Homo-oligomer: A and B are copies of this chain.
Amino acid sequence: MRDFSNDHSALALNTATLGHNVDGHGAGWSPERVIDACAARGFGAITYWRREIGDRAVDIGERTRAAGLSVSGLCRTPFLVGPLAPPTRAAVIDDFKASIDMTADLEATCLTIVVGGVIEGSHSLTESLKAVADIVAEMASRAQQGNVKLALEPLNPVYGGNRSCLVTVRDAVDLCDAIDNPAVTIAVDVYHVWWDLSLATELKRAGSARIAGYHLCDWLADTTDVLLDRGMMGDGVADLKAIREAVEGAGYSGFCEVEIFSANDWWKRDPGEVLDTCVERFRTVC
């Protein structure tokens, strides 16, 4: 396992950690200001959200690299199925294509997919996952052409109804197997997998080539909101070292990306303090 106690060059920032994405929360920092703040603190990479990029993908990608950082990812495709997906399959595909093209322009490592919830009226996780597989398979060759990894992110089962019918790494590996395209991979997020004692086994089954990202935060024992009350690493109950051991035991050696949605705590703090805390916790408890 890598030793981060004196080296945090593997640390990446997901800009959601600075609270960009809810009106009235967050610093409202420009990508340039985030790049400078991360570079000054020795972060290794940044993952952006599409809303921050607009038509500036090539420029922002270049600026990030010019500051000595990588672009670790882009969030994200539309929901592909379920109650929150665009109204038609054609609309899903159009927006999926736009997100792939933006990822390619950014030269980001991967594009995150949050697949969407159970299809209305289907009462079936299995049928919903088949529809997901169908759409992702159709998009895989475009992703390959753009040198983009599609990262299927299994979400905590609490989101199964509306945000993600993909709820375990096990099911994500099965989905990769079914699609069988090297562009289709998995993102592992502590918030979503911390409870899963089969994690190491399933990640070994995935193999290193199919793990495109590792996301850090913590699960607060008395969480008040499953969407916007994630904890800073070390403040919750997740076994962060054991989870990273599982991820690295499967061969992953990429960035560790802090992604903390925290409307009432970290998003209210000074962004510089948040970034400093990420570095300190990464070196000590991750």
Contacts and interface: CB of A to CB of B under 8 A. Distances in A.
Contact of A197 (B126, B240, B242): B126
Given A118-B237, A167-B195, A198-B170, A221 B161 contact: yes
B161 A240 contact: no
Q: Contact size class for A?
A: 35 or more
Contacts of A122: 237
A222 interface: yes
A165 to B, nearest CB: 8
A158 B124 CA distance: 20
B221 A118 contact: yes
A125 interface: yes
B221 A83 contact: yes
A31 interface: no
A145 interface: no
A197 B129 CA distance: 11
Given A158-B158, A161-B221, A237-B161, A195 B125 contact: yes
A156 interface: yes
Interface string A218-241: 011111001000000000111110
A194 B160 contact: yes
Contacts of A226: 158, 226
Q: Which of A161, A226, A240 has the most CB of B within 10 A?
A: A161
A124 to B, nearest CB: 5
B195 A236 contact: no
Nearest to A128: B237
A26 interface: no
B221 A123 contact: no
A195 B128 CA distance: 12
A162 B221 contact: yes
Interface in A63-108: 82-83
Nearest to A161: B221
Contacts of A196: 157, 168
A157 B195 contact: yes
A171 interface: yes
Contact of A236 (B158, B161, B219): B161
Interface of A: 82-83, 117-118, 120, 122-126, 156-158, 160-162, 167-168, 170-171, 194-198, 219-223, 226, 236-240, 242
22 contacts: A117-B237, A118-B221, A120-B221, A123-B237, A123-B238, A123-B239, A124-B242, A156-B157, A157-B157, A157-B195, A158-B158, A160-B219, A161-B219, A161-B220, A161-B221, A161-B222, A161-B223, A161-B237, A168-B195, A168-B196, A168-B197, A170-B198
